[in-house]
Structure 1
Amino acid sequence: MDSKEKTIELIEQALETVRPYLHADGGDVKLVELTDDLVVKLELQGSCQSCPMSAMTFRAGLEESIRKAVPYINKVVSSNVPELA
């Protein structure tokens, strides 16, 4: 397993810790891409796409979980919610 695959595995594990909360509200998140310059692109799904709390969930939940698991990530962005890009 190369380092990018390992990083993706760590990101997925971090997302799994937050998913139950997203599922409880009818939403989910998908890892779209890990770029070569260590930018994580996520796609909010279901009710998370249009939820007024999505920015807080994204930054305080998803991004924080990823940064704890993978501190060397440069940025976490949304591929489908413009204000989180």
Structure 2
Amino acid sequence: MSDMNLNERIEKALAEIRPFLNNDGGDIELVSVEGDTVTVQLTGTCTECSINQMTLKSGVEMTIKKYAPEVSTVINASGVNPLMGSKVN
């Protein structure tokens, strides 16, 4: 894995978690990587799911950190504050 750059490792992590999201009618896309923060976009049924923040933290963030331990935070680009679980104005 050391030959892969950060974006490639993150994409590999997303490819690992994507089938689980697809099974529930959802998907995920990499939006950006800025410093140690990764922004993703949950799509499909994941946008309306009541547990999407748990999925983001327990599934997506954990998988990304497995491939890219230098990442400290994963956030959803949909405007949901990952720490508070509420909409950002």
Which structure has more helix as a fraction of its residues? 1
Aligned to 1:9, the other structure's residue is in SS state helix
Unaligned runs of 5+ in 1: none
- Identify unmatched segments of 5+ residues in structure 2: 84-89
Q: Does 1:6 find its partner at 2:5?
A: yes
2:71 to 55, 68, 73: 73
TM-score (norm 1): 0.87
CA RMSD between the two structures = 1.7
- Partner residue of 2:15? 16
Deviation at 1:20, TM superposition (A): 0.4
Residue-pair matches, total: 81
**Runs of at least 4 residues off by over 2 Å:** none
**1:4-27 CA-partner distances (Å, limit 9, x unpaired):** x71000000001111001001100
For 1:56, the equivalent position in structure 2 comes to 54
Give a deviation string over 1:2-58, Cα, whole Å, max 9, x none.
x9x7100000000111100100110000000001x2210000000001101111111
